[in-house]
Structure 1
Amino acid sequence: MSAENSERPYTEIGHRLRAARKALGYNQTDFAKRAGFTKGQVSNWEGGAHRPSLDACIAMRETYGLSIDFIIFGNMDALPHKIAKLLESSPSVNLSK
């Protein structure tokens, strides 16, 4: 585990959430509000300080179509085709971080 990951163990989850949010065209405030979160929660998840709870993952699945398997493990095959294509084609998205 790298030094960055030992200090912020959820950075990979955060990178995926940020990439998905940007690909879907939302800023943190709107993404949070639509799914019933606070902007602070989204910021903490994306920054790797915390991981989303199971309830939060379910809300993201129901609101945005983001699978729990993608959020936690990065499984792109678990995403609806339309969302996977958005992530792959979005120039502002970098899932390799």
Structure 2
Amino acid sequence: MLRTCLSGLRNCSWSCYLLSTLLIAPLTVTAKVISTPSNPLVVTGTGKSQQRVCYYNDKAYSIGAVLQVGEVYMLCKEANDFEKNGALRWVILEKTKQEE
């Protein structure tokens, strides 16, 4: 019966057409399976964003660094005296009377 239905769909009855469609349809539909890794990626903040540095001219300087810009000296130190792990900033060093 199936062979006669598949050989000529013009002469096929509705039941033969339905049967052939149901047999062919699963062969044409495929699903793409995408697997994800079982272990999640953990990112920690150990990069440069966590470093305590002062920047000048696209270079990083650590705490205590002294930099001369023209005739001015700058010191890299804590932005706030009460913070020991906070941000750093440049502080201009004043000339003392002994240096003049």
Q: TM > 0.5 between the two? A: no
Q: Which band: TM-score by shorter chain?
A: under 0.3
More RCO (CA 8 Å, sep 6+): 1
| TM-score, length basis structure 2 | 0.22
| TM-score, length basis structure 1 | 0.22
Larger radius of gyration: 2
